[in-house]
Amino acid sequence: MIIRLVVCKNGSCIIETNQLSAFVWIYFQISTNNTSCLNNSIRGSLLVHSTECLYDSIGGTCIKSYPTQRVMFTTYYNFLYIPVNRNSNTSSIILNGNDSSIYSYEFIVDDRNIGGTIHLDFEARLQSHVQSNVNVSILGCVSKHQPHRYRDCEIDYRIYINQNSHVTRSLPYPEIALWYLTLEYVCNGSMNNCDNASLALTFQISSSSCTREQCGTYGVCRILTSQQNIFSVCTCIAGYRGYGCTDSSYSYVSKYLPSVLFLTLSNLMFIPAIIVAIYYHLYIEALVYFFNMFFSTFYHACDQDLHKFCMFKYDGLQLSDFIGSYASFVITLITLSIIPRAVKVFLFVLGLLACVTINSRDRFDDLQFIALISITFSFTIVTWVTVSIKKHRLQPSLKRLLWITPGLVLAIIGLILFTAVETEDNYWYIHSLWHILMAASILFFIPKKLEQNRRRIQASDLDPNVHNLSTHAVNRGATLPDEEENNSSEII
């Protein structure tokens, strides 16, 4: 930015500006109409300095400006600004009614500390006893490019320091500029009282990551990178919010224990489904349900903010939980299909590999989950229709369909809660309800055999001459029997 264009002729000239920024460039162009000057050197001198006072544009009050030296430390954005002046103790000043000066301290912010937080700490103490009706205070202003008095300062950058008080102000993510801290003495008593009311002010200007490298009890300070920009940020836990994780309006610390118990113990609802699957010799299904219950329980025990228990890495537990959930849906739908057990086992492995693949790609993509479930469900319906046409009767039977209906209703309710109702605030009980509904629905989907069919299977194992019955023994729990066999092995 060019502030002023000055032409100097046959002498000296002065360029004055109060629009200072972090960097100032000064350019000179030498021109002459006398060609003899081209053979002779032109000499001059340049002196850049600040004046003792910067005068306020309204009142013409002297503002003494003191530069500061930035001391850097080892950690990110950790700096200390020390005033540079003849008096080595300029960070502690004494103000009274006899001193009408306004003090200003300049400090630079560049790309090395724009991602941190500037801290301004003040401590004011009265040096002498004053009457109770006399109030002494310091008015401060933080401004860019040039100093401003309190009355001209932006509201968010004003600082009020009362007598015998400690004040701290923080400026997160400051812009690149030359900043000024301006201080002025204010007394509301008589002239005699104010002349004797001396106020000692000690202050410090510093920079740090986050809020002095801390984020309270429920936060962690992290250094992040975004589009080649490095900045510090507080990562809050347990529902705390705010720049320093101090806003507890959405905290759920009091709900921590109920949420952990709900999310972990709700998985025990899979135990009845596991027992029923084992009872009807559906061992693969029982193994998948146990896998889902086990890893879902320990994943939610690890997925906690305050106190967590992780068997191994969090990402591994999360992946196992997602694979188990997807596989439980796929395996259950394949079990409902009417195909030989050997084909079902092949589809079990294929479905499990598909679950591993899509979860490795993106475990949070709901569309791929919907696509996988839709394909599996469509396949099951096709097998029902095909067998019904071939047998000239409804398969599964009406009694079986009526038994499946409650499980279907529970599954649909669970899916609606999981996809449309669940939020970050109600996650702990809505997701627990999702566990319960899914586990309960499986009880209605698992195929059940009549005891008579069990005896026929045992008899076929003892008599090797019965070829057809031995085939049923190999594919137990897999196919629907012919009606000519008096429905003795029909799934109900």
Give the domain ranges of the chain.
54-208, 258-448
Look up the pTM and report it: 0.61
The whole-angstrom separation of Cα 64 and Cα 105 is: 8
pLDDT score of 483 more than 60: no
The region of weakest confidence among 7-11, 190-194, 223-227 is 7-11
Its CATH architecture, for the domain 54-208, is: Sandwich (2.60)
The whole-angstrom separation of Cα 65 and Cα 103 is: 6
- Indicate the helix (H) or strand (E) that contains 63: strand 62-72
Give CA torsion, residues 296, 299, 301, 305, to 10 deg: -140
Output 339 or 147, whichever has higher pLDDT.
339
Please state, in angstroms and as integers, the Cα–Cα distance from residue 36 to each residue in 28, 31, 33, 39, 489, following that order: 20, 12, 9, 6, 120
pLDDT score of 394 more than 80: yes
Give the rounded percent of residues in the chain with a pLDDT score beyond 90.
Answer: 29
Query: Which pLDDT band holds residue 9 (cuts at 50, 70, 90)?
Result: low
Give 214's DSSP letter.
B
Query: Which pLDDT band holds residue 452 (cuts at 50, 70, 90)?
Result: very low
For the residues 12-39, what does the mean pLDDT come to? 58
For the residues 389-405, what does the mean pLDDT come to? 91
Whether 335 contacts 288, CB under 8 Å: no
Identify the pLDDT of residue 469. 41
Q: Which amino acid is at 462?
A: L
Identify the pLDDT of residue 265. 94
Give 482's DSSP letter.
P
Give me the residues paired with residue 187 across strands: 136
Q: Mean pLDDT in the chain?
A: 78
pLDDT score of 408 more than 80: yes
Task: Compute how many other C-beta atoms are within 10 angstroms of the C-beta atom of residue 180.
Answer: 21
